[in-house]
Amino acid sequence: MAIEIRKATFNDIEEIYNLVRELAIYEDGEHMMSATLEDYQTDFLDEQWDSTVAIDSGCIIGMTIYFNTYSTWKGRMFWLEDFIVTEEYRRSGVGQRLWDAIIKEAKERNCVMMKWQVLDWNKPALHFYEKNQAIIEKDWWNGKIIF
């Protein structure tokens, strides 16, 4: 399998956006997705987020969206916002290659840890993270305010 893993460019944003929509549908949350393609483009140019993509035959078949943040207890931190591989390519090793690439990116940014969220019912994702020695915290609750 000749899958290319590389940093995303501006030209990749529409396909990235479509993958996020695919993820939202998988998580039964498409109705909550309000960010537009134009938001993604503007925010990418403003360096609010970055992405690594997996490409096969010129099409993006997987991606991660991430950015730097800060832990007041630990220091520099890497936040993984989205991680998706299209259904056709799941269990083919693409996810592991993307995972390895973002771990490398986080370390290159001198981050001391990476955090993300995973839904409790997403057993394939939980299994993947546990296989990669991730700590899945179950004692912290998420809070948010939508403006």
For the stretch 16-47, pLDDT in tens is: 999 999 989 988 999 999 999 999 999 999 99
Distance between CA atoms of residues 129 and 25, nearest Å = 21
pLDDT at position 35, please?
A: 96
Distance between CA atoms of residues 98 and 62, nearest Å = 8
The domain locations on the chain are 4-131
Average pLDDT, the chain: 95
Per-residue pLDDT tens digits for 64-79: 999 999 999 999 999 9
Give the CATH H-level superfamily of domain 4-131.
Gcn5-related N-acetyltransferase (GNAT) (3.40.630.30)
Got the DSSP string for 38-55?
Answer: HHHHHHHHTTS-EEEEEE
What percent of the chain stands above pLDDT 90? 88
pLDDT at position 141, please?
A: 87
Please give the helix or strand (H or E) that residue 80 lies within, else none.
strand 75-85
Is the model's pLDDT at 145 over the cut of 90?
A: no
pLDDT at position 69, please?
A: 97
pLDDT at position 96, please?
A: 97
Q: And the tokens for 21? A: 């929509």
Per-residue pLDDT tens digits for 85-129: 998 999 899 999 999 999 999 999 999 999 999 999 999 999 999
Is the model's pLDDT at 1 over the cut of 70?
A: no
Task: Please tell me whether residue 35 adopts helix, strand or coil conformation.
Answer: coil
